[in-house]
């Protein structure tokens, strides 16, 4: 790895074709992987090698561009011919819904091309699981799509970005990764978009799939799969990014002991078409929140009842079904929000919504 190049030489090109290519015969044998860069810690610099939490634009440091990211890891040429595009360059908590649609549509376009065998998306880790799950639902493809980030900035001592990126490209180039839905490759693990979640604020082993969704390992940059996703995704999904130009507003209400329905009412007033309630335990909530959700539902707002507990299933119960609420099943509140936004582009019928929450 050439850390110097990775961290210091920001080139202005927003897109490049890496025909930085070896011999033609060798090229033909390798997969063509498109890398789409969106920012995040993997593209961040800090003031020095020990600046591991204070880096990037917030610390007054410029982001690293796609070309520098790639040229820092010439090892990727062993696995694929790569092309790169800078889609945007922000921390993932700053990604807008418009950014999201742009990314998804461009990813779809590339996947539809015969010249692309797989796509890697570099992304901040904060919302990586959200983008992965969104793409898992809307991309019509069987080709590998791999999201990757890093927990340490490119300038950090023991930066994890370079190996994560090499592994992501190797995975996207591998026929073994086809038809597995959108994947996350971090810290030598391969995870499904459905199951994966960020579980630690700073640790390099942050991405875990506590309820299943761990699909395998990357070892010596080779994928070893141990399972496949059981839920509907990508080419088997009823959602299609080509038909989506906007998404309805869906808000999440976080329930605590003693909380009331003020935030639910505010969401309705702000025009939410759906609300996900992150309840306690098996979706339980204070009476005041229940009253606000019932009132919202009567106004035509779809209500999904989920849990703030990170693992387990929320199955339908008599009380919630009678109120016309949908149960989140195994979706975290943030993933339930994404599925509800997409589901609301098709239906508002609670039974249909529940079918969708059961299937994805």
Q: Is 161 in the site for ligand ASP (CB under 6 A)?
A: no
Residue 350 engages ligand ASP in binding (rule: CB under 6 A): no
- Is residue 91 at the binding interface for ligand ASP, with CB under 6 A as the rule? yes
DSSP for 152-184, written as a single string: S-TTSTT-SHHHHHHHHHHHHT-GGGTTS-EEE
Does 92 engage in binding with ligand ASP (CB under 6 A)? yes
Minimum CB distance to ligand ASP smaller for 91 or for 181: 91
* Residue 87 to residue 304: CA distance in whole angstroms: 32
Six token digits for residue 153: 């900035």
Which of the ranges 120-128, 179-187, 293-301, 316-324 carries the binding residues for ligand ASP, by CB under 6 A?
120-128
Tokens of 121: 């998306």
- CB 154 → ligand ASP: shortest distance, Å? 11
Indicate whether 151 belongs to the interface with ligand ASP (CB under 6 A).
Answer: yes
- Catalytic, 41? Answer yes
Give min distance, CB of 68 to ligand ASP, in A: 16
Per the CB < 8 A criterion, the answer to whether 41 and 151 are in contact is yes
Verify binding: residue 41, ligand ASP, rule CB under 6 A. Answer: yes
- 162 near ligand ASP (CB under 6 A): no
Q: Which stretch binds ligand ASP (CB under 6 A): 119-127, 176-184, 272-280, 334-342?
A: 119-127
Residue 183 falls in which region: left (phi positive, over 0), alpha (psi -120 to 50) or beta: beta
Query: For ligand ASP, which residue of 75, 85, 126, 240 counts as binding (CB under 6 A)?
Result: 126
Question: Which among 89-97, 157-165, 222-230, 257-265 is the span making contact with ligand ASP, rule CB under 6 A?
Answer: 89-97
Q: And the tokens for 296?
A: 């919202």
CB of 66 or CB of 289, closer to ligand ASP: 66
Whole-angstrom distance, CA of residue 334 vs CA of residue 332: 5
Q: Is 35 in a helix, a strand, or coil?
A: strand
Residue 168 in the binding site for ligand ASP (CB under 6 A): no
Question: To the nearest whole angstrom, how small is the minimum distance from the Cβ of residue 196 to ligand ASP?
Answer: 14
Q: Are the CB atoms for 185 and 171 separated by under 8 Å?
A: yes
54, 85, 209, 194: which is closest to 132 by C-alpha?
194
125 binds ligand ASP (CB under 6 A): yes
> Do residues 119 and 146 make contact, with C-beta atoms less than 8 angstroms apart?
yes
196 binds ligand ASP (CB under 6 A): no
Stretch that binds ligand ASP, among 123-131, 250-258, 316-324, 339-347 (CB under 6 A): 123-131
CA nearest to 133, candidates 191, 190, 89, 86: 191
* Residue 216 contacts ligand ASP per CB under 6 A: no
Catalytic residue among 41, 122, 125, 155: 41
Check: CB of residue 319 under 8 Å from CB of residue 311: no
Nearer to ligand ASP, 264 or 338 (CB): 338
Task: Please state, in angstroms and rounded to a whole number, the distance separating the CA atoms of residues 73 and 93.
Answer: 26
Nearest approach in angstroms of CB 40 to ligand ASP is 3
**Nearer to ligand ASP (CB atom), residue 81 or residue 125:** 125
As a whole number of angstroms, the distance between CA 105 and CA 247 comes to: 14
What number of chain residues touch ligand ASP (CB under 6 A)?
A: 10
Closer Cβ to ligand ASP, 53 or 297, answer by number: 53
In terms of CB distance, is 93 or 243 closer to ligand ASP?
Answer: 93
First to last CA, the chain: 39
Summary count for the chain: helices (H), strands (E): 11, 15
Could you give the CA distance from residue 221 to residue 124 in angstroms, rounded to a whole number? 21
Q: For ligand ASP, which is the closer residue by CB, 38 or 277?
A: 38
The 10 Å Cβ neighbour count of residue 310 is 11
- Catalytically active residues are 41
Q: Site residues (CB under 6 A) for ligand ASP?
A: 40-41, 91-93, 124-126, 149, 151
């Amino acid at each position: 790895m050439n850390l110097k190049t990775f961290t210091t030489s920001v080139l202005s090109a927003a897109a490049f074709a890496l025909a930085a290519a070896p011999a033609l015969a060798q090229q033909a044998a390798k997969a063509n992987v498109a890398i789409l860069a969106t920012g995040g810690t993997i593209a961040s610099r800090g003031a020095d090698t020990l600046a591991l939490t204070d880096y990037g634009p917030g610390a007054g440091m410029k982001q690293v561009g796609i070309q520098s990211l790639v040229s820092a890891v010439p090892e990727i040429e062993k696995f694929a011919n790569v092309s790169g595009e800078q889609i945007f360059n922000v921390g993932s908590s700053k990604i807008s819904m418009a950014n999201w649609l742009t990314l998804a549509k461009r990813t779809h376009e590339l996947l539809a091309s015969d010249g692309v065998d797989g796509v890697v998306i570099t992304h901040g880790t904060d919302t990586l699981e959200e983008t992965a799950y969104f793409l898992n639902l809307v991309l019509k493809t069987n080709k590998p799509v791999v999201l990757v980030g890093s927990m340490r900035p490119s300038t950090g001592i023991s930066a994890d970005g370079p190996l994560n990126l090499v592994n992501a490209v190797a995975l996207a180039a591998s026929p073994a990764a086809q038809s597995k839905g959108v994947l996350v490759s971090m810290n030598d693990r391969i995870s499904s978009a459905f199951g994966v979640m960020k579980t630690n604020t700073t640790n390099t082993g942050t991405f875990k799939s506590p309820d299943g969704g761990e699909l395998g390992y990357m070892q010596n940059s080779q994928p070893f799969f141990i399972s496949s996703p059981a839920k509907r995704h990508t080419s088997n999904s009823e959602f299609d990014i080509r038909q989506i130009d906007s998404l309805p507003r869906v808000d999440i209400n976080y329930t605590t002991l003693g909380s009331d329905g003020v935030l639910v009412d505010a969401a309705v007033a702000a025009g939410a078409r759906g609300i996900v309630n992150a309840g306690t335990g098996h979706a339980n909530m204070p009476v005041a929140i229940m009253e606000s959700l019932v009132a919202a539902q009567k106004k035509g707002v779809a209500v999904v009842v989920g849990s703030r507990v990170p693992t387990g299933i929320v199955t339908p119960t008599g009380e919630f079904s009678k109120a016309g609420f949908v149960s989140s099943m195994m979706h975290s509140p943030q993933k339930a929000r994404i599925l509800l936004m997409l589901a609301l582009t098709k239906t508002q019928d609670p039974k249909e919504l529940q079918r969708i929450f059961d299937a994805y």
